[in-house]
Amino acid sequence: MKLGDLRTTTLAIAVLLCAPIWCLAQEQGSGVATGISKPKASGKSTSKKPAPEVVVGRVLEATNGIQLYAPRTMEMKFGMTFESNENFASNILATIPFPMDWPEQKITVLSHEIPDQMAWDFRDLPAGARQLVMRMNSLGPNAQMNLIVNVQVEKSFINAPADTSVFRIPKNIHKELRWYMESSPYIEINLPDIKKAAKKIADAKPENAWKHVEMIYDWVRETIEYRNGPVRNIRDALKDKQGDCEEMTGIFVAVCRASDIPARCVWIPEHCYPEFYLEDEEGVGHWFPCQAAGEKQFGQMHDYRPILQKGDRFKVPEEQGWQRYVSHFFSCKQRPIGPGGRDMFVEPILDLGPLQQEIEALRQDAARGGDSAPQN
């Protein structure tokens, strides 16, 4: 199948076929925004000689940490659509998760299609999430409105560092890392099975920190059988030894945290995977991804889908308690709906552009028997 960009054709096809696109990330949280602003770039890219394991593309960064390569630039749309009912609505508030810059991802706002009567801005939440927040005084009966922000996403593949022996588990957990050391919704780090696994792996005395985390990774994949289904607490997944990408990611995160290793969930469209944090010999910290469900990818990530947020323990102003995922949110004031009336229709807009077409084509190919990956 031809994916458009020659430098990434072969590898991108393999990635999209192997990545668990069938695992739908269940949205459970929420998301506020003053005018349009372009996110600050994460730094200039530099072209360096590819390491031997880099098969396709140019290396953007080569450090003790992750190596970025095979960058791909795509245009996408994020927003929300409204369709009011027969009642007048006032005090309208809507939020959606919005992608932000990460080392492997650069976001540039190109334009927007938002009515003048709608005030909007971005709001960043602690621990790795951004929201597009939209407010409007009123909306008439039987009205329809689309609110869209057009963005350019530059996403790169990640390779693991060439020398993994230099990394260590951080001795001191800095304030910004504490978000990734405690229990979070659906992820309990004090479960007996989690503590037992953490102790068993530590007692095996791994030769270095990287091997320690890899043993946690292998334990999760050997212990939990992939089974697609509704989101559950990791306690239930451990009980029946089955789970999808969310449960497998959550269990990996929990065992890491119980082993004093910071870890977090990463959310992309229809999927999530974990990241773990280690320091190099100079005390510089690095986040490394891995694929808990699907093709084995440890310390690397080959997926062009945009990162929506990183983390699993968010405080959202419009929601009560901790949120595992910052989802869309909508509220307004209206008269009670009469008999036979309909609710106001509100739905997020997520258009991945050409990437969406490629994913759908791969799904259809898999449905015809062209791939063995499970489907929704």
Cα–Cα distance for residue pair 327/306, rounded to 1 Å: 15
pLDDT per residue over 168-177, tens digit each? 999 988 888 8
What is the per-residue pLDDT for 336? 76
What is the per-residue pLDDT for 310? 95
What is the per-residue pLDDT for 60? 60
Tokens of 134: 């939209």
**pLDDT-derived band of residue 359, with 50, 70 and 90 as boundaries?**
confident
Domains of the chain listed by start with CATH number: 29-41+58-158+312-352 (2.60.40), 161-310 (3.10.620.30)
pLDDT per residue over 75-98, tens digit each? 999 999 988 888 888 899 999 999
Sign of CA dihedral 280, 202, 177, 162: positive
Q: Is 354 exposed, middle or buried (0-12, 13-18, 19+ CB in 10 A)?
A: middle
Selection from 80, 1, 114 nearest residue 332 by Cα: 80
Tell me how far CA of residue 238 lies from CA of 212, 249, 251, 311, 340, in angstroms.
21, 12, 8, 21, 45
Average pLDDT over residues 216-231: 93
Lowest mean pLDDT among 281-295, 309-323, 339-353: 339-353
What is the per-residue pLDDT for 59? 56
**pLDDT-derived band of residue 334, with 50, 70 and 90 as boundaries?**
confident
Where helices occur in 104-191 by DSSP H, the ranges are none
Q: CA triplet 203, 253, 194: central angle to 5 degrees? A: 45
Place of tokens 């696109």: 21
Please check the confidence at residue 55 and state whether its pLDDT lies above 70.
Answer: no
Average pLDDT over residues 102-109: 96
pLDDT winner (highest mean) among 5-14, 25-34, 297-306, 342-351: 297-306
